[in-house]
Structure 1
Amino acid sequence: MNRRYALSACAAACLALPSAWAADKWNMSAEQPDGNYITVVARDFAADVAKATNGALEIKVHSNSVLFKRPDLKRAVQTGQVQVGDVLISVLGNEDPIYEVDAVPLLARDFDSAWKLWQASRATMEARLAKQGIKLLYSVPWPPQGIYTKVPVKQMSDFKGMKFRAYNAATSRMVELMGASPTTVNSGDVPQAFGTGLIEAMITSPATGVDSQAWDFAKYYYDVQAFIPKNVAMVNARAFNQLPAASQKAVLAAAERAEKRGWDTARKQTSELTDKLAKNGMTVGPTPPAINADLAKVGATMADEWLKKAGPDGKAIIDQARR
């Protein structure tokens, strides 16, 4: 009996090992390639967690969307297919307009106003995600968004019919209002899309421009500073709640430090990345005045449309951000 009991106990212990092990080792799906500062922040966050927990929790970062593509990331975190992931929050706009507030053109064009907008919207986003079993960890902003083209443009009519890369519902709508034809293309597929003629222009950050070596397929970069989107890191709430209290505290403290690093890095790198576009032969300049004037109208239209969709919660966010 004792021998059989010991064997049964051993078997039970072995069966329990995978779940206990999984609680100590997490995977994180990161959208961007290793050289992108958003992925660097993710790796620093993982290293910070390991150090703060004395190795009790290890997070392995998988870059360049090798685990899950952007459209599938949130669902993967929600269902526990991966414990942690970072995603461009505005791509969730079709699910809830609150998520795309930072993609409304001209609402927040510099980092100070973008930070105020984030502080105004964070609690509302956290509540939405919490209802779906997700805990928000930290955000990292992209540089302000600019326009890349193969040919020079001087007025809004120059975009008419142009095949224009979009990456979420908000940028698709913006491109439509500009008179161009939107085509959704993930950042990793941008060079091929330009090479095959699928797109002729795009609105994105200097970071994506450098990552994709935009100088190989585009000649002009207009520093529109249309808006400042963010990637948000999130964790499966059940996985987080299964951690010991000390590890939970360490994760949240590391997330707070990651957010500060991310925002500081974005501020520092914006001009460096824009300069790199110019150093590689692109013509870099401000938005032509005629286009800037028409973009203001596009921004006003989209702000009105967003407020109608977002309702009272959206209005409260905008009011707080503008104080």
Structure 2
Amino acid sequence: MRFRSMAAALLGALTTTLAAHAQTKWDLPAAYPANNFHTENLAQFAADVDKATGGKLKIQVHANASLFKANEIKRAVQGGQAQIGEVLLANFANEAPIYALDGIPFLASSYAEAKLLYDAQRPVLDKQLGTQGMKLLFSVPWPPQGIYTKKLINSVADMRGIKWRAYSPATAKIAELIGAQPVTIQAAELSQALATGVVESYMSSGSTGYDSKTYEHIKNWYDTQAWLPKNAVLVNKKAFDALDKPTQDAVLKAAADAELRGWKISQEKNDWYKNALTEKGMTIHRPHAKLKADLKQVGDIMLADWEKTAGAENVAVVQAYKKAQAAMPAPKN
């Protein structure tokens, strides 16, 4: 009897061990609230992977910078502290020129243009991330960026000296060029910064304004449609390579689906966010022609500065994008 009990215990332990080895668990840190469309898309991606692999690969999404802060996620994935993570590419402009393209005003200011830019960027993004031990799974844009401000503005001159939220090198550079006072604030800290008066203006999408309840503190949003920064979902290459081929294929298929779904949802939510902000008491302004012209000049300066140091391979990305942009059909009236 004792022998049988020991055998049963060993068998049970072996079964548990095999089951543990059969299932892989990944952590996916994200910087935005659970009800943000990016995070909801990540949750669907994780569910799709779970279903496609029969539970073999479990991905847990950690929303709202609960596992790592926004600016820590890329390093966490690169170092293997997290197997997979979502980052805002423009946050890492100081690391590589290819990331900076996501924050240059009026380079790509519509979904169609943003997609052309992404298609031109993708090979260089893949190469850059590969040198850092990572792989790009998919990318989804934010809605077009506008300006949140307490006071009415008609030109860049009206923003001089304003306390401006900077969340990336690009938005800090914009502050410098328009004479604003940059304050580094990540998304998860924005509501508190607005409530305490640490910032009084910033540039972002309708999505950020809604998620952070900016309408409780600021009543004006200028729909400048300046650019569409992208979130990218990165995976640690060693973690990905450790998966068997069917599981890898399931991840890549779920990622492709998430990218298509995410672009569609972003575009659909753009008008929804603007309507929601209006319902919360915010006024959506069409920017004055002088303001748009001033911001376009800021974008031209930033692009020219970028091209001086970006290198031939990165400059070729912009050239390819502009060639594709020129071939776009004219928008219908």
Q: Same fold (TM over 0.5)?
A: yes
Whether the 8 Å contact between 1:307 and 1:315 is mirrored in structure 2 is yes
Aligned equivalent of 2:62: 62
Instruction: Tell me the residue number matched to 2:321.
Output: 321
| 2:200 paired with 1:200 | yes
Match for residue 154 of structure 1?
Answer: 154
Offset of 1:309 from its aligned partner?
Answer: 2.3
1:155: Cα distance to partner?
A: 2.0
Q: Which runs of 5+ in 2 are unaligned?
A: 324-333
Q: Which residue identity lines up with residue 25 of structure 1 in the other structure?
A: K
Matches for 1:272-291 after TM superposition, within 5 Å: 272-291=272-291
Task: Give structure 1 stretches of 5+ with no counterpart.
Answer: none
Corresponding position of 2:240 = 240
Question: Does the Cα contact within 8 Å between 2:144 and 2:205 map onto a contact in 1?
Answer: yes
Name the aligned partner's letter for residue 94 of structure 2.
N
Given that residues 103 and 227 in structure 1 are in contact (C-alpha distance below 8 angstroms), is that contact kept between their aligned partners in structure 2?
Answer: yes
Residue pair 2:307, 2:315 contacting (<8 A) in 1 also: yes
Work out the number of aligned pairs and report it: 315
**Matched residue, 2:111:** 111
Does the 8 Å contact 2:73/2:85 carry over to 1?
yes
1:74-113 CA-to-partner distances (Å, cap 9, x unmatched) read: 1110111111100101111111121121111100000000
- Separation in 1, partners of 2:69, 2:209: 19
- 2:65–2:188 Cα contact (<8 Å) kept: no
Cα distance, 1:41 vs. partner?
A: 0.6
Structure 1 stretches of 4+ with a deviation exceeding 3 A read: 16-23
Q: Which amino acid aligns with 1:195?
A: A
- CA 1:131/1:159 → structure 2, altered by over 3 Å: closer, same or farther? same
Q: Deviations over 1:165-219 (max 9, x none)?
A: 1110011101211121111101121121122221110101100000011110001
User: How many Å apart are 1:293 and its aligned residue?
Assistant: 1.2
How far has the Cα of 1:270 moved from its partner? Answer: 0.3
1:208 is paired with a residue whose SS is: helix
Q: CA deviation at 1:21?
A: 4.0
Residue pair 1:23, 1:239 contacting (<8 A) in 2 also: no
TM-score by length of 1: 0.93
Residues 37-91 of structure 1 deviation map (CA, whole Å, 9 limit, x = unaligned): 0001100000010111111111111111111111111111011111110010111
How far apart, CA to CA, are the structure 2 residues paired with 1:277 and 1:185? 21
Contact kept? 1:104, 1:306, Cα under 8 Å: no
- 1:1-323 equivalent positions in 2, closer than 5 A: 17=17, 21=21, 24-323=24-323
* AA partner of residue 310 (structure 2): A
8 Å contact from structure 1 (residues 23, 243) kept in 2: no
- Find the aligned partners of 1:308 and 1:17 in 2 and give their Cα distance: 56
Contact 2:83 2:235 in 1 (8 A): yes
